Each structure stands twice: as C-alpha cells, then as structure tokens.
Amino acid sequence: MEWEAVIGLEIHAQLATKSKIFSGASTAFGAEPNTQACAVDLALPGTLPVFNEEALRMAVKFGLAIDAEIGRTSVFDRKNYFYPDLPKGYQTSQLFHPIVGIGHIDITLEDGTSKRIGVTRAHLEEDAGKSLHDEFPGMTGIDLNRAGTPLLEIVSEPDMRTAEEAVAYVRKIHALVTSLGICDGNMAEGSFRCDCNVSVRPKGQEEFGTRTETKNINSFRFIEKAIVGEIERQIDLIEDGGRVIQATRLYDANKNETRSMRSKEEANDYRYFPCPDLLPIVIDEDYIDAVRDSLPELPDARKARFIEEYKLSDYDAMVLSGDHNLATYFEIVAKAANDAKMAANWVMGELSKHLNQNDTTIANSPVSAEQLGGLVERIKDNTISGKIAKQVFEVMWAEGGSADEIIEAKGLKQVTDTGAIESIVDEVISKADKQVAQYKAAEPDKRGKMLGFFMGQVMKATGGKANPGAVNGILKKKLDALCD
Amino acid sequence: MALDRSDVEKIAHLARLQIDEQDIPEYTQNLSNILDLVNQMQAVDTSDVEPMANALDAVQRLRKDAVTEDNNRENLQSVAPAVENGLFQVPKVIE
C-alpha cells in the first residue's frame, strides 16, 4: 500500500527581550542557577504579573510578517498542571484569543517548487524552569532562571507531507524570526525548538491517522531524522497489524529513534480559563501600523534583492537569504571584496564547510565577515591565487589575523614579476626534454592540454605562488618558440 | 447537575488534594449545589453579551522591557525546605 504522512509543527521561539514576560528579572542565558528568578517567577504569594511591552511588539511583528490577522483584543489564559519547575501550578498562555491568528508562509523545496503552509496561530506564553534529575540521588534539582522567559508558540496547519517540507518550513520560520530580530534562533541553547506531530494514512484517504507528538527537537538535522524515523515506525507498525497509539515521544539523537514518553490517553486535563491576574490586551490600528512600518527586510524580499543587486543565481540567493546571520555575513564579504559571486562561493563553500565540520554556526565563526572579505579582495586583485587563499583561510580559521598579515607573514604573495616567472619556466623546460619533445611532436591544437605538466612543475617550484595566468602565457610563448 | 463520587476523586487528584473517604459524600453534595447555582444562571439569555475575560472594565497596562530585579537568591531560598548548589531540591519526579 502507498502511504502518505501528515505533519504539523509547533515551534517555540524564545523572544529576545531583556527581561521576562511578566517580571523584571533578566533572561540572559547561562547564569548561575536561580540568580535570575525573582519573587514573581517563584510565584511567591502576593506577587502579580506585569506584561512586557516588547514581548507584545515582537509577537505582532511576527504576525505581520506571515500576513496573519492580529488579535485586537488578546487574552492570557491559565493552563493548569503540576510540575516542580512550574511553581505557580499553571502556565500563563493564550488559548481562546491568541495575539496572532491565521497566517501563512511559502516554502521552497530542493527541486525549486514552492508550497504554501498555513500557520494556525501564534500565541504568547511563559517558559517553565529546568529540572535536573541526575545530579542528586533521590532528588530533582530545580533551576527557575528560565521560568517566565517569553515564548512565541507558532502552530502550523497539518499541511506538510514529507520531512523535507517540514525542515523547509522550520528553516523559513527560523529565517523569519531571526530577520525580525525577535529571536536569536540559537537551537543549541533552546531558544528555538520544535515539536513534530506526525501521522500516516493510506494515500488518497481524507481522514487523518492517529498522530504522535515528538517533543523539543533542537536541530534541523534531528527534525528531519526524527520525522523520517517516526513515519517509518508508524507504517511498519500498521503493516504488521498493529495500531499507532496517540502518545508523546522523545527523539534520541544517539540512537536515531523516537521513544514513548507518556501516553496521551492518560492526557492531562489542563482546565484552561482566563487568567484573572491579567487584563485583556487591546491594541489599535495605529499601534499595528507603527509596528508594520518598523519591519526590517524579510527573507523573501532579501532573496529577490540578492538576485537583482548582486546577480546571484536563484539557488545561491535562496541559500544565503535563508539564514539571517548568513545573509548579513555574505553582504559584508561581498562589499569588502567587491565581487558578489566570489563572496557567495566562499561563504557557501569554504566557510560553510568549516562551520559544518566544527559543528558551529555563523554567529560563532572564528573568521569574521570582514576577515573573509579582506581575503576575497586579495584573490580578486591577484595578490594570491584561489588555491593559496584556501591556505590563508586555514590559518585565519585556526589562528586569526587579517589576510594581509597572513600573506605577509607566510610569504604567500603571488609572483607576478614576469622576469622571475620566466627564469623558473626556463629552468623547468631545460629539465624536461622528454615532455618538450612530446609537445613538439603533438598537433598544434593538442598542445594546449599538454601545458598542464609544465604548469604543475612551475607551481611546484614556486610553492603555488606564481600567478597562473602569467605562467600560462609565458609557458605557451616559450614552448611554441621551440617548435618553430 | 449532580456530580458523582468519581468526579470528586478526579477533581481532587487534579488539584493534588488528599481527601478523606468519609468526606466525599459531603463534597459531592456541596460541589453539586454550586453547579446547580451555575445552571440557574445559565437560564439567562446572554446571546447579545460579549464574554468578558476580566471583571474590571480596563485593559492591561504594559511594562517597559528593562531588567529591574537583582540577584536575590540567598534571600528567596531562605524559605525553601531544601537547597543544594543553588538549586531548589524536590523529591525526584521521574523514574
């Protein structure tokens, strides 16, 4: 039987505010446990929440960026459940009247086709604290620094059919929130995480199958793997005569499989109701217009501009505009080097390769855009060849320094002095009687190909520093002179 | 609307309240009485009334996004039953 997967995603984007959603405690990452948890975050009796205006503005920005209806009146609700990292006994969230209503984004797939994915809603809520289960025997340690950090939960329609579509959607949302400056997008620190709802059904069937939810996946690669694995697991299960049980699952990256966390059949009863501690949030047209006017350039517009302004290919423009930090980085390199195509090749090639190999991100790149721009500029003005530039890049990555400093210190400057190249060429020719004889014997139109050997010898003799164009010209001239 | 014993047991569990077996009939009666009152109010036609989220006729005031709280951990943890390495300690919550 042919199966079809149905995928819907819930993304939690941590909003990049300085303080928490309902208190004046800091949201900075990595502080000592409980040093950024104030009386409100600890839910001490008598404390009351006061809503952070920046969290509201950021949510509205997102809503406008996905063409969504903005809730003129939105309301906070209490989602009630007991867990020690949630000291109030409820999470303040939005169920009935979210700040962002129905919207959509368009994704582009590898084969160039695009697809519109619906966004059901996006609502504001607070994050919980962190539970540490393994540090103390018989006890759980609670760190409430993260409690009260503002989150925007972005809920998609079940519009995706493959893992590829799901990843393209997540990447697009990631590019959006980082371009808008409302989320730092740091997946390793949990600022951007994804829950995947997956079900399968026989192709052509209207009705959805039973779905599972895989929680808190924190990398693009893992999202893809988790979905692919979960689709296979469900199909195998059904084909073997079993049935899918509605459950919450965890993705184990080490084993590359999902496993059951808790069954939804004993699901929590959250008893949502409007939070009496917070009044309705009312915004008017002027407010929305002002936020709309403040929107920065968004990924789709940026892609179009890259094609227009830098003459990049559709593919290059898509990759570079698909990540806010990468796009910003590329533009600095392109301007410094004054060659967009070469800048794009270096950013998408050598730089991305190094970032992947070292499992790091553009934001943490040891080579800055200015440094790389300086390097590409030196290829462009023929100070060094592309090959030598890779050596310079290695040094830059490992030890730092500007291209000019490294070229100077390592003596890598390209030899363009014709006299110097001529004497090396003479030397190479004098030691290669056999190859010279072959060259002479060859048909004139075959000789071009035979230059390769001599070229290699000259480059070897100069440590790759001779200007390839100059060497080629001189070699041809001298060898052809021997043939006459 | 009358509640039965299992409703009361479920509500107590959701609220993490330990209740005595012998009190359940009384709770059942009291809670049912409250729901009866709600039912009485349901009879009023409210089809033209916008549901309200809060009894105050006001809208939420907003706070500037600024860090106004300093580290007050020592003070705040002085009332906690158990603390280790800056972490609140609670009985283990997973297997």
User: Where are the domains positioned within chain A?
Assistant: 3-287, 297-410, 418-483
Nearest-Cα distance to chain B for A414, in Å, is: 54
B59 contacts: CB under 8 Å, gap ≥ 6? A279, A280, A281, A282
B47 touches chain A (CB under 8 A): no
The CA-atom distances, in angstroms, between B10 and each of B3, B19, B30 are 11, 11, 16
Lowest mean pLDDT among A34-43, A78-87, A454-463: A454-463
Counting residues of chain A whose pLDDT is more than 70, the rounded percentage is 98
Q: Taking 70 as the threshold, does the pLDDT of residue A343 lie above it? A: yes
Q: What is the DSSP string of A441-480?
A: HS-GGGHHHHHHHHHHHHHHHTTT-B-HHHHHHHHHHHHH
Q: How many residues does chain B have?
A: 95
Q: How many CA atoms lie within 13 A of A220 on its CB side?
A: 18
List, as ranges, residues 133-192 from A with C-beta within 8 Å of B.
Answer: 133, 135-136, 138-144
Contact A280, A73 (CB under 8 A): yes
Instruction: Give A476's pLDDT tier (boundaries 50, 70, 90).
Output: confident
CB pairs under 8 A between A and B: 130
B53 vs A: CB within 8 A: yes
Tokens 């917070």 sit at which residue?
A278
Domain limits for position B15? 5-42
Which pLDDT value is given to residue A235?
A: 95
| Single-letter code of the amino acid located at A396 | M
Q: Is the pLDDT of residue B1 over 70?
A: no
A83 or A149, which is more confident:
A149
pLDDT over threshold 90, residue A466: no
Cβ neighbours around A241 below 10 Å, total: 6
* Confidence grade of residue B69 (pLDDT, cut at 50, 70, 90): very high
Look at residue A104 in the predicted model and tell me its pLDDT: 97
Confidence of residue A265 (pLDDT cuts 50, 70, 90): very low
Q: What is the pLDDT of residues B12-39, one digit of tens each?
A: 988 889 999 999 999 999 999 999 999 9
B58 — contact with chain A (CB < 8 Å)? yes
> For chain B, what is the domain count?
1
CA dist list (Å): A332 to A329, A336, A339, A341, A373: 5, 6, 11, 13, 7
* Nearest C-alpha neighbor of A164 from the set A116, A114, A110, A201: A110
Q: How confident is the model at residue A267 (pLDDT cuts 50, 70, 90)?
A: low
For residue B30, being part of any structural domain is answered with yes
CB A42 within 8 A of CB B69: no
Residue B16, in any domain of the structure:
yes
Identity of the amino acid at A278: L
Q: pLDDT-based confidence at A262, cuts 50/70/90?
A: low
Task: For A39-87, give the DSSP string.
Answer: TTTTT-TT----EEHHHHHHHHHHHHHTTPPB-SEE--EEEE---TT-T
Mutate to test the interface with B, among A15, A85, A96, A139 (most CBs of B within 10 A): A139
What is the mean predicted confidence (pLDDT) over A88-100? 96
The span from the CA of A359 to the CA of A173, in Å, is 22
pLDDT digits (tens, 9 = 90+) for A374-426: 999 988 888 888 888 898 899 999 999 888 888 888 777 777 677 778 888 88
Q: Give the residue from chain B lying closest to A277, CA to CA.
A: B54
By CB neighbour count within 10 A (0-12 exposed, 13-18 middle, 19+ buried), where does A409 fall?
exposed
Task: Please list, in sequence order, all residues whose beta carbon lies within 8 angstroms of the beta carbon of residue A232, skipping any fewer than 6 positions away.
Answer: none
What's the sign of the alpha-carbon dihedral A258, A260, A263, A268? negative
pLDDT at B93: 79
Candidates B53, B65, B87; nearest CB to A274? B53
SS3 state at A217 = strand
- ipTM here: 0.89
A206 close contact with B: CB closer than 8 A: no
CATH (domain of B9)? 1.10.20
CA angle A215, A218, A221 (to 5 degrees): 110
DSSP string, A353-391: HHHHHTT--GGG-SS-HHHHHHHHHHHHTTSS-HHHHHH
User: Of the candidates A210, A154, A167, A202, which has an alpha carbon nearest to the alpha carbon of residue A4?
Assistant: A202
Is residue A261 classed as helix, strand or coil in its secondary structure?
strand
> For position A474, what pLDDT does the model report?
85
The predicted structure's pLDDT at residue A475: 83
Determine the average pLDDT of the residues in A142-152.
97
Inter-chain contact A84–B72, Cβ cutoff 8 Å? no
* Nearest by CB: A131 against B68, B86, B93: B93
What is the mean predicted confidence (pLDDT) over A429-447?
82
First to last CA, chain A: 74
Distance CA A279, CA A240 (A): 53
Residue A287 is predicted with a pLDDT of 97
Is B91 within a domain?
no
Residues A156-175: what's their mean pLDDT?
A: 96
Alpha carbons within 13 A on the beta-carbon side of A319: 12
Looking at residue A433, its pLDDT comes to 82
Contact B86 A54 (CB under 8 A): no
Q: Per the domain annotation, does B11 fall within a domain?
A: yes
CB contacts, 8 Å: A84 with chain B: 88, 90, 93
pLDDT of residue B95: 57
A191, amino acid identity: S
H helices of B1-95, in order, are 5-14, 24-42, 73-77
| Residue B26 lies inside a defined structural domain of this protein | yes
Average pLDDT, chain A: 91
- What span, in angstroms and rounded, lies between the C-alpha atoms of A80 and A266? 15
Does residue A316 carry a pLDDT above 50?
A: yes
pLDDT at B78: 95
Pick the CATH number of A418-483 from 1.10.10.410, 3.20.20.70, 3.10.20.810, 2.40.50.140: 1.10.10.410
Average confidence (pLDDT) over A193-210: 94
